[in-house]
Amino acid sequence: MPRKCYLTCLLNSHPPIPLPHNIETIIGRSKLTKIKDQSCSRNQLSIKADCENCSVELKQLGLNPSGFDGFSMTKDAIYKVGHNTRIEVLLNNHVHLLKFDPPPVDHSKAEGKRKLEDMEPEQSSRKSMKMEGDSKPCDVKAAPESVWENVDSGELYIYTAKGVKSSEKIAAFDMDGTLITPKSGKVYPVDISDWKIAFPTVAQKLKEQIELGFKVIILSNQAPIGSGRVKIEDFKKKIENIVRKLDVPIQAYIATGKGFYRKPTTGMWKVLSEEKNDGLVIDMEKSFYCGDAAGRTANWAPGKKKDHSMADKLMAENLGLTFYTPEEFFLGHKLSDVLMKKPDFHPKQYTPEPFDQRLISSEKEILVLVGFPGSGKSFIAREIIKKSDNRYVSVCRDELGSWQKCASTATKFIQQGKSVIVDSTNPDRESRARWTALATELGVGSRCAKMAASLAHARHNNKYRELRKEKHLPVSDIVFHSYKNKFVEPSTKEGFKEVLTVKFTGTFENEEAEKMYKLHLLEK
C-alpha cells in the first residue's frame, strides 16, 4: 500500500486533510480547516509531502507567522520537516500534526533532512562556510573497540565508541538539552534512564557530520557525579545507551568536577586537542560547537523558559568556535542575537592600568582597603608591601580571625614604625570607623583605597583564584550580595585624608596565568 500523508487537527475539529504526494496543498482560513480567525490568511501555509522519503516542505505564505514545533517561521522560507511535526497554522494557534500512514519505521532516519540549503538564506551561507569543503577521510584508524578512560582521578571521563576516528574537523555537542532531554518532561532527569533523543533529526544530522569528515564529540558537565549524587558506573551505561541509540561513533568527554574541565573553561578541549586526536591539528575555523546553555532570555521562542546558563556559548567563545543552539542546528530555527544575554564581564576587554604610586605615602598611616571579596585587595596589598620595601604590612581578617585581632596587630605594627594596610572588605561606615578611630588614637593619618572591580569582575577573580587552587576560603554568592547590600561609598567625611580608587593592574605570574584569566570562567 503506498504511503499517505495527512494533516490531523490536534483538537479533532475537522477530519484529517490528505496531503497528496509531491503536490502543493494550501492551508489557511477555510471551511476545510474550520479556521475563521481573520489574522489567518486564506493562503497561509503551503505544504508539500514527499511520501516516499517521509518528508514535508513547509512555506509560510500569509503575513502573520506560522510555526512548527514551537518555532516561528519566516515568510517564503522553505523548511523541511517530518512525521509527527507539530504545525501551528498561525504561531501558537490551530495546532495540527503531520502524520504519515504507515509511519516511518525509524522517525529519526526516515524524516526529511533539514539540509542547509533548505534553511533561510542568511543561515544557509553561514553554515555552508563551516560544513562544506573537503571531507577527505583521515589516514588515522578508527577505534577498534569501545573504551572508557579516567583522567585526573575521575575529574574527567572519556568514552571512545568503536569506530571513532580522529579528524582535523570537530563537530562538538553538549549532551543534556542538546542531544537528549528528560523523557519525564522534568527539567532535570529523575534517574539514569530518564532520557530520550531531544530532536527527531539528531541521529541523521550527526551521521551527516561523519559523512562530511567530522569527528563527533560530546562535551558534558556532570557535577552530580563529582558530588556523588550519580554513580559513575550508572552514568557510563547511560552514555553507552545513548551512543548505541544514535548509532553514530562518538567520543564523549564528561567533566565531573568544578575545575578546569568544566565548561565554560576549556580543559576538555585541551585534552582532545593535545591527547585524543592522534596528533591531528584541529581546524578551529571548520570545527563548531552546539549547545543549549546559550543565555537565551525567557520567551526566546513562544513559551520557552530562559536558559539555565551560558556555559556552552561562553566555552565556544573561549575557544573561538562557531556556536549553534540545538534549535538552530537540528531544526533550522533562526534566532536573533537580541534574545541572547551578554556576559556581565568580558575578561578580554578590561584595560589594565599601571600601579598607582599614590597608594604609597611617605607618612606613616593606616590604609583601609574597601572592595568585594575577590576584588584584588590582597593582591594590591602585596604590591604595596613590595614596592614600599616593606614599609607597609597588612592585617587580614581572613587570616587573623576578627577585626579586634587585626586592630591589636595593627597597633603593634604602627608602634614599630610601619604603615598598615587593612585587608578586609570594609563595605560600610561602621567597619571603616574602627580604623579611622584607631589611627586618631595612635596619632597617624588614615586613607581609604576602594577597589574599582565590579561584582561581575570580582566573581570572575574569585573563580580564577579557585581554578588556580590558590589557598583561600570559598566565597559564595551570598557573601558577594551581602557586601553589595551593605556597601556605602567611602568619603573623606569619614575622617580619611584621601579616598583613592584602585584600578585593576592585570599583572600575571606567567603567560599561562594570563591566558586563563582572559577566559570566560563563569557560567552566567
Interaction site with ligand ATP (CB under 6 A)? 371, 373-379, 398, 425, 461, 464-465, 468, 470, 475, 504-508
Quote the least distance from Cβ 489 to ligand ATP, whole Å: 18
Contact status, residue 252 vs residue 240, Cβ threshold 8 Å: no
Among 136, 462, 68, CA closest to 59: 68
Q: Which residues contact residue 15 at a Cβ distance below 8 angstroms, ignoring those fewer than 6 apart?
A: none
Quote the least distance from Cβ 464 to ligand ATP, whole Å: 5
Nearer to ligand ATP, 20 or 352 (CB): 352
Nearer to ligand ATP, 335 or 475 (CB): 475
Beta bridge partners of 394: 421
Nearer to ligand ATP, 114 or 503 (CB): 503
**CB nearest ligand ATP: which residue?**
376
Contact status, residue 335 vs residue 325, Cβ threshold 8 Å: yes
Quote the least distance from Cβ 482 to ligand ATP, whole Å: 12
Phi, psi of 99 (to 5 degrees): -130, 135
Nearer to ligand ATP, 326 or 374 (CB): 374
**Burial of 320 from C-beta contacts in 10 A (0-12 / 13-18 / 19+):** exposed
Residues written for the chain: 524
Quote the least distance from Cβ 204 to ligand ATP, whole Å: 46
Q: CA 448, CA 444: separation in Å to the nearest integer?
A: 14
Nearer to ligand ATP, 24 or 398 (CB): 398
* DSSP assigned state of 329: H
Contact status, residue 517 vs residue 265, Cβ threshold 8 Å: no
Nearer to ligand ATP, 237 or 348 (CB): 348
Among 33, 129, 24, CA closest to 78: 24
Contact status, residue 332 vs residue 118, Cβ threshold 8 Å: yes
C-alpha cell at 11: 483538537
Nearer to ligand ATP, 43 or 507 (CB): 507
Quote the least distance from Cβ 216 to ligand ATP, whole Å: 37
Quote the least distance from Cβ 420 to ligand ATP, whole Å: 16
Q: CA 76, CA 273: separation in Å to the nearest integer?
A: 42
* DSSP assigned state of 146: -
Quote the least distance from Cβ 272 to ligand ATP, whole Å: 27
Q: CA 84, CA 69: separation in Å to the nearest integer?
A: 10
C-alpha cell at 194: 530518564
Nearer to ligand ATP, 475 or 522 (CB): 475
Quote the least distance from Cβ 477 to ligand ATP, whole Å: 13
